[in-house]
């Protein structure tokens, strides 16, 4: 069974959840939340993402989203997850004030080794549930 996020109706509005691995409390830090929000704003401006509602919790994000234009919504979601995972992990590495740096990086790296895509780090869990 594929682990890829699938959207069958590109014109519908969807409820999606992005969850960090092990439900890690990453979004307690403003700088990590801002990376996620900047990615959303970019996708709204340049990729046709429509955001009807969102809620950023400490370990996950809920969103009600759709799209306008021709961009595939699955591709937009993929891009958000890929960009934010790389940028947030970079921010953790560079943040000398991050008291949990070693633990977070170890957990992300450990999850990455178990990932079939052979990534160094895995930030997001692999389940997403579109509304249709």
pLDDT of residue 44: 96
pLDDT of residue 127: 58
pLDDT in tens, 43-93: 999 999 999 999 999 999 999 999 998 889 999 999 999 999 999 999 999
The reply to whether the predicted model has a pTM over 0.95 is: no
Percent of the chain past pLDDT 70, that is, above it, reads: 91
Domain residue limits, the chain: 14-114
Contacting residues for 58 by C-beta, under 8 A, at least 6 apart: 25, 26, 27, 28
- At the second CATH level, the architecture of 14-114 is 2-Layer Sandwich (3.30)
Among 2, 1, 128, residue whose Cα is nearest residue 76: 128
Question: Residue 132 pLDDT > 70, yes or no?
Answer: no
């Amino acid at each position: 069974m594929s682990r890829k996020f699938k959207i069958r109706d590109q014109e519908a509005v969807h409820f999606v959840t992005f969850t960090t691995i092990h439900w890690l409390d990453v979004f307690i830090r403003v700088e990590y939340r801002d990376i996620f929000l900047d990615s959303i704003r970019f996708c709204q401006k340049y990729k046709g993402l429509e955001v009807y509602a969102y809620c950023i919790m400490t370990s996950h994000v809920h969103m009600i989203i759709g799209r306008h234009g021709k961009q595939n919504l699955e591709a937009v979601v993929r891009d958000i997850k890929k960009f934010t995972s790389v940028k947030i992990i970079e921010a953790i590495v560079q943040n000398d004030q991050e008291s949990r740096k070693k633990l977070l990086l170890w957990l992300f790296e450990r999850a990455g080794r178990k990932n079939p895509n052979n990534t160094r780090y895995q930030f997001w869990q692999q389940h997403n549930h579109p509304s249709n």
